[in-house]
Structure 1
Amino acid sequence: MPSEKEKMLAGEMYDPHDPTLVEERRDARRLTAEFNATAADEADRRESLLRDLFGSVGENPHVEPPFRCDYGYNVHVGDDFAANFDCVILDVCRVEFGDDCMVAPGVHVYTATHPLDAEERVAGEEYGKPVTVGDRVWLGGGAIVNPGVTIGDDSVVASGAVVTRDVPSDVLVQGNPAEVVKEL
């Protein structure tokens, strides 16, 4: 029988109160607290903490505190990844950013989701869907990326957009729900 963590990573219904998962979230909170307490002149310390927290990190990562995540080990960032203040990534499943991605202030990326059926939802189990962000993508301030979304290379998500479905490459999306408004 698979563990709750194995079910979580596979995108199946799982119990988030499982002791192993609770402890792993505590570890992530400890690392993010250390990261968020760093000073602007501690770039090497910040990078070291990101490498401890994230599943994989490319060259030249830059994340401005404060930053929040669930587990950290499901976050994978490519070369020259940059995230501004107040980024939140709920990473119960894999979140992958390609190279040269820019994440503006207040962006939220969610993989965690819950059943639509009220009885199932209040029973406490949840599940997740992975998020993939291609190369050279810019997520504008306050944008929200929902579970299961893939954003294609070279696309821009406008400030405040709520991305509920896949975004093709080379487009600008905006609105709630986000719609393609321009080809780039």
Structure 2
Amino acid sequence: MKLSFLSGLIRAAKARWFFLLEMPEGNRFEDKGAAGLKGRVIVKRGTGNTITIGSGTRFDGSIEILGTKNTVVIGDNCHFKGDIVVKDHGQTVTFGDHSTCKSVYILCQEGCSVRIGRWCMLSRDIEIRTTDAHSLIDRQTGKRLNTAASIAIGDHVWVGVGAIINKGSRIAADSVVGAMAFVNSAFDEEGVVIAGVPAKIVRRGVTWHRGRKKAFSSAEMDAWRG
């Protein structure tokens, strides 16, 4: 379904969910075959914005845009539950194929982008922010200290409950972020556990799996790479 303008209440009968879509003319919403849509998608201000929900995906939350030429993509076969707020121009938020989350708040602002890879698993009460939303200022120089920066989360990353992924963070593929961690820097080493406030590497040489049993084969541990 490709729409340049729609304002109203949509009933997605196949999922028995209610979905509110409000997009002024000049914006585009594309449903590539979502399994269910619940919540709302709204462009409060701006044109040239594109929002895409992938095939087989269940979306339960909100997307709110204030700005122009922004892109939000929820990939195929995802389960997304949370809220995305995009304020500014020319930014991108992506949530990769086969990824899931219980509840997440994503704030993308100040010309930055947020990339979440494929096969990720995000728990509940997680915040991902490209900006602090206010300025920390050096009193002597008058210069702002806490500039905004983009965020990149690699493929197959598990983020524990209550974690905060702050501006400028990078998390490499096949890693784990511990519960309540505060991530505010770049971690480019794969296969690690990152935990603490501020977060640091606490274990190396690991992977993770959604299943629970005593041991896993190499094929099982690397199935997500296919």
Shift of 1:45: 1.8
CA distance in 2, matches of 1:46, 1:71: 22
**What per-residue deviation string (whole Å, max 9, x for no partner) do you get for residues 64-94 of structure 1?**
24x2423496311110121112x11111110
1:71 to 1:51, Cα distance in 2 relative to 1, 3 A? farther
2:154 matches 1:153: no
Which residue number corresponds to residue 29 of structure 2? none
**CA distance, structure 2, for counterparts of residue 180 and residue 132 of structure 1:** 17
Match of 1:116 in 2: 137
Measured in 1, the distance between the counterparts of 2:173 and 2:73 equals 19
CA deviations on 1:133-172 (whole Å, 9 max, x unpaired) are: 0000011110011111110000000000001211221100
Give the counterpart letter for 1:64 in structure 2: K
Bigger relative contact order, structure 1 or 2, given CA contacts below 8 A and separation 6+? 1
More helix by share: 1
- SS of 2:36's partner is helix
Residue identity matched to 1:157:
V
Query: C-alpha distance in 1, partners of 2:202/2:16?
Result: 40
Q: Is 1:103 matched up with 2:95? A: no
Match of 1:57 in 2: 74
Structure 1 residue 44 displacement after superposition: 2.0
Q: Secondary structure at the match of 1:100?
A: coil
Percent identity between the aligned chains? 28
Q: Any gaps of 5 or more consecutive residues in structure 2?
A: 1-6, 10-14, 18-34, 42-50, 54-62, 64-70, 207-226
For the aligned residue pairs, the C-alpha RMSD in angstroms reads 2.9
In structure 1, runs of 5+ residues without a counterpart are 1-30, 35-39
CA distance in 1, matches of 2:130, 2:106: 8
Q: Match of 2:113? A: 94
- TM (norm. structure 1) is 0.66
For 2:99, give the aligned amino acid: F
Opposite residue 133 of structure 1, the aligned amino acid is I
Alpha-carbon separation, structure 2, partners of 1:88 and 1:48: 14
Deviations 1:27-81 (A, max 9, x none): xxxx9xx9xxxxx85352249957374622221121224x242349631111012
Give distance in 2, aligned partners of 1:48 and 1:145.
24
Cα deviations by residue, 1:84-135 (Å, 9 ceiling, x for unpaired): 12x11111110001101111101111101434325556xxxx8520000000
1:140 aligns with 160
What pairs up with 1:5-16 in 2 under 5 angstroms? none
Instruction: Output aligned runs, 1:19-38, within 5 Å.
Output: none
Q: What CA distance in whole angstroms lies between the structure 1 residues aligned with 2:137 and 2:99? A: 34
Q: 1:81 to 1:115 in 2, by over 3 A?
A: same
Q: 1:69 maps to what in 2?
A: 85
Cα distance in 2 for partners of 1:128, 1:51 equals 25
Equivalent position SS for 1:132 = strand
- Which protein shows a greater Rg? 2
Instruction: Name the SS for the 2:52 alignment partner.
Output: helix
